[in-house]
Amino acid sequence: DGGITQSPKYLFRKEGQNVTLSCEQNLNHDAMYWYRQDPGQGLRLIYYSQIVNDFQKGDIAEGYSVSREKKESFPLTVTSAQKNPTAFYLCASGRDSTNYGYTFGSGTRLTVV
């Protein structure tokens, strides 16, 4: 799907449970990003990584964690500390400069049950 794959497409989480969203890219992009999208709102940055084994907090990092052990992969864990996790999560990747924009994955819709 455009070289960046997110899975699963739909995910249901019980209260107090941690869940992990997968993001894999084969575009050889250095940078990867996680955004959260709520209905009627824009894209808010959760975490981003410019290089393997390094990542930075975005604007709404609380209750989330990430890892970047491989260039191709940037999984996002939604922990039980995230009190309102129901949202649409988008992963993106980019080249070594923002001047080429992002390629987005198809998203994961997370619902708390």
Partner 1 sequence: GENVEQHPSTLSVQEGDSAVIKCTYSDSASNYFPWYKQELGKRPQLIIDIRSNVGEKKDQRIAVTLNKTAKHFSLHITETQPEDSAVYFCAADQGAQKLVFGQGTRLTINP
The 3-state secondary structure of the chain, one letter per residue = CCCEEEECCEEEECCCCCEEEEEEECCCCCEEEEEEECCCCCEEEEEEEEECCEEEECCCCCCEEECCCECCECCEEECCCCCCCCEEEEEEEECCCHHHCEEECCCEEEEEC
Q: Which of residues 46-105 bind partner 1 (CB under 8 A)?
A: 48, 50, 56, 90, 94, 96-99, 101-105
For the CB of residue 58, give the shortest distance to partner 1 in the complex, in Å: 8
The stretch among 11-19, 45-53, 60-68, 79-87 that binds partner 1 (CB under 8 A) is 45-53
- Which residues are near partner 1 by CB under 8 A? 1-2, 30-31, 33, 35, 40-43, 45, 48, 50, 56, 90, 94, 96-99, 101-107
